[in-house]
Amino acid sequence: MSGIVTRFAPSPTGILHLGSARTALFNWLYARHYGGQFLLRLEDTDQARSTQESADNILSNLKWLGLDWDGDVVIQSQRQKRHQAIAQQLLDMGKAYRCYCTPEELTAMKEEALARGLHPTYDRRWRDRTDQPNAPFVIRLKAPLSGEMAFHDTVQGLVKVDAEHLDDMILLRSDGTPTYMLAVVVDDHDMGVTHIIRGDDHLTNGFRQMNVYTAMGWAVPSMSHIPLIHSDDGAKLSKRHGAIGIEQYRTDGFLPEAICNGLLRLGWSHGNDERIDQAQAIAWFDGTSLSKSAARFDCDKFLSLNGHYLRQRTLSHEGLESLWHDVIHEPLNAAAVPDILSDAACCIGKSILPALAVRATSLCSLRTQLIPYLTPCLENAPVLSGDDGRLLSVLIPLLHGLSPWTADCIEEFLRQWAKTQSISFGAVAKPLRLVLTGQPISPSLTDIMVALGKEITVLRMQNSIDASPCA
């Protein structure tokens, strides 16, 4: 195993959405590419906004996406004592100090700065004081007072900020709880994180965190700040743009491999390759080729990838079994499948699935197409009268006697029979298709007849002539 350690560090204050899933994916791929470790940490320092529901959502959707993590999930709040110890250590080393400003003082400081047209930062009034009143205090880091701070970001290049733009940030609040800025550095250090890939909304935090690393004399991990995902209208992707939660993509019938492939292409590229499966992604994702410009989310691309992966699954026995499992059991926004499926229904369903997948772009549409094949009779069987009805009545005994019941044999028979009746093959196929599937469009008629089997084929034809209740 290499020494590479990446991590995904979501705050459980909301669900796993496309942007955070992409961050997880990139860190996961990087670790897997180099044979390193991918760690998971729940950053619940904001106890008021953190919820178990969000944590559950994040974990279950990561699992669904196949982004497995190494070791146990680290819960940030359980490491509070360690964070406090580091704050104390910084204090002891003279690299941090106690600040006794009251909230009123801070507000007044802010207003005054704003009134003078200045950036409202803390004025460091306690930085060099040595008195220790018997009053609540916070612990602040002594940030550099002047000069330029710079670090090399693998995506953004050399990034710089004037030290005067960063104030002496709070490390420990007056109630003794650590701030995110302290906890994230201590945890990354303790967890041995070597590479951090995250959204560029954390770039400024990067400078602040750098100050903690420097003060502690710790090695700084490699930093990669990736541009956020934008929608096709150019704005930052948000709820306004519809589905952004991974869970919703799942219930909308997306496959995890399609989501991962789609996310991979948002901000990373390998030539013009669009379809990149997991194995290929692991082989190629070496941390280079991360884009510096914002990626645009395109739902149609995700749908087309989804269609591709639905069909991919039908190409192997295991893939087909997993597709069958998902189309039946996934919690989809689609009609429910019958509670109990007979062996015959499963057999018919599995054999027809590859043909149905040709046209499907989601598990939902696939399930909708599949349902008519899962029961012997169609729920709303069409009733044909007139010429079509007569055609069915004549065909029933002929098909009943047909042998062998193979696609070739059925097709040959129907073509010959159409000829003898001086009608086109289409004129025979159309009513048959309708009574067998309930739909005017379907996969190959003879494939359907083979999948349904002779008995059910004949039964459905029968039901559509005399409309007798299904036996």
Helix, strand, or coil (residue 137): coil
Residue 183, Cα to own-chain centre: how many angstroms?
A: 26
For the chain, the helix, strand and coil percentages under 3-state DSSP, each to the nearest 5: 50, 10, 40
Q: Whole-angstrom Cα distance, residue 326 to residue 304?
A: 18
Helix, strand, or coil (residue 53): helix
Does 17 help bind ligand GLU (rule: CB under 6 A)? no
Q: Whole-angstrom Cα distance, residue 381 to residue 465?
A: 10
Residues 173-212: x/- map of binding to ligand GLU (CB under 6 A)?
Answer: -----------x-------------x---x----------
Distance of closest approach, residue 182 Cβ to ligand GLU, in angstroms: 12
Burial class (CB in 10 A: 0-12, 13-18, 19+), 92: exposed
Q: In the structure encoding, which two tokens stand for residue 426, read together?
A: 């289409």
Nearest to ligand GLU of 27, 369 (CB atom): 27
Q: Interhelix angle for 445-466 vs 407-420, to 10°?
A: 60
Nearest to ligand GLU of 8, 126 (CB atom): 8
Does 9 help bind ligand GLU (rule: CB under 6 A)? yes
Residue 285, Cα to own-chain centre: how many angstroms?
A: 18
Distance of closest approach, residue 144 Cβ to ligand GLU, in angstroms: 21
Length of the chain (residues): 471
Nearest to ligand GLU of 43, 153 (CB atom): 43
Does 11 help bind ligand GLU (rule: CB under 6 A)? yes
Does 241 help bind ligand GLU (rule: CB under 6 A)? no
Does 19 help bind ligand GLU (rule: CB under 6 A)? no
Contacts (CB under 6 A) with ligand GLU, residues 23-62: 43
Nearest to ligand GLU of 15, 184 (CB atom): 184
DSSP bridge partners of 6: 38
Q: In the structure encoding, which two tokens stand for residue 255, read together?
A: 């496959």
Write the DSSP string, 118-149.
Answer: -------TTTT-----SS--EEEE---SSSEE
Mode of pairing for the β-strands spanning 148-153 and 157-162: antiparallel
Q: Taking contact as CB under 6 A, which single stretch among the options 9-17, 135-143, 330-338, 389-397 is the one that binds ligand GLU?
A: 9-17
Find the Cα–Cα–Cα–Cα dihedral 143, 147, 151, 152, rounded to 10°: 170
Q: In the structure encoding, which two tokens stand for residue 259, read together?
A: 């989501």
Nearest to ligand GLU of 20, 446 (CB atom): 20
Show the CA angle centred on residue 44, arms to residues 257 and 331, nearest 5°: 35
**What CA–CA distances, in Å, run from 21 to 16, 43, 46, 58, 194?**
6, 15, 21, 9, 20
Distance of closest approach, residue 261 Cβ to ligand GLU, in angstroms: 23
Distance of closest approach, residue 453 Cβ to ligand GLU, in angstroms: 54
Distance of closest approach, residue 9 Cβ to ligand GLU, in angstroms: 4
Q: Taking contact as CB under 6 A, which single stretch among the options 4-12, 52-60, 113-121, 411-419 is the one that binds ligand GLU?
A: 4-12
Distance of closest approach, residue 10 Cβ to ligand GLU, in angstroms: 5
Residue in this structure with the two tokens 């002047």, named with its chain if needed: 146
Nearest to ligand GLU of 11, 437 (CB atom): 11
239 tagged catalytic: yes
Nearest to ligand GLU of 198, 265 (CB atom): 198
Nearest to ligand GLU of 11, 361 (CB atom): 11
Residue 242, Cα to own-chain centre: how many angstroms?
A: 14
Residue in this structure with the two tokens 């990736």, named with its chain if needed: 226
Distance of closest approach, residue 22 Cβ to ligand GLU, in angstroms: 12
Q: In the structure encoding, which two tokens stand for residue 34, read together?
A: 């180099």
Which one is catalytic: 81, 95, 160, 239? 239
DSSP bridge partners of 225: 198
Total binding residues toward ligand GLU, as defined by CB under 6 A: 7
Q: By CB under 6 A, name the one of 10, 178, 267, 438 that touches ligand GLU.
A: 10
Q: Taking contact as CB under 6 A, which single stretch among the options 7-15, 88-96, 287-295, 301-309 is the one that binds ligand GLU?
A: 7-15
Distance of closest approach, residue 35 Cβ to ligand GLU, in angstroms: 22
For 379, the enclosing helix (H) or strand (E) is none
User: Which residue ranges make up the site for ligand GLU (CB under 6 A)?
Assistant: 9-11, 43, 184, 198, 202
Active site residues: 239
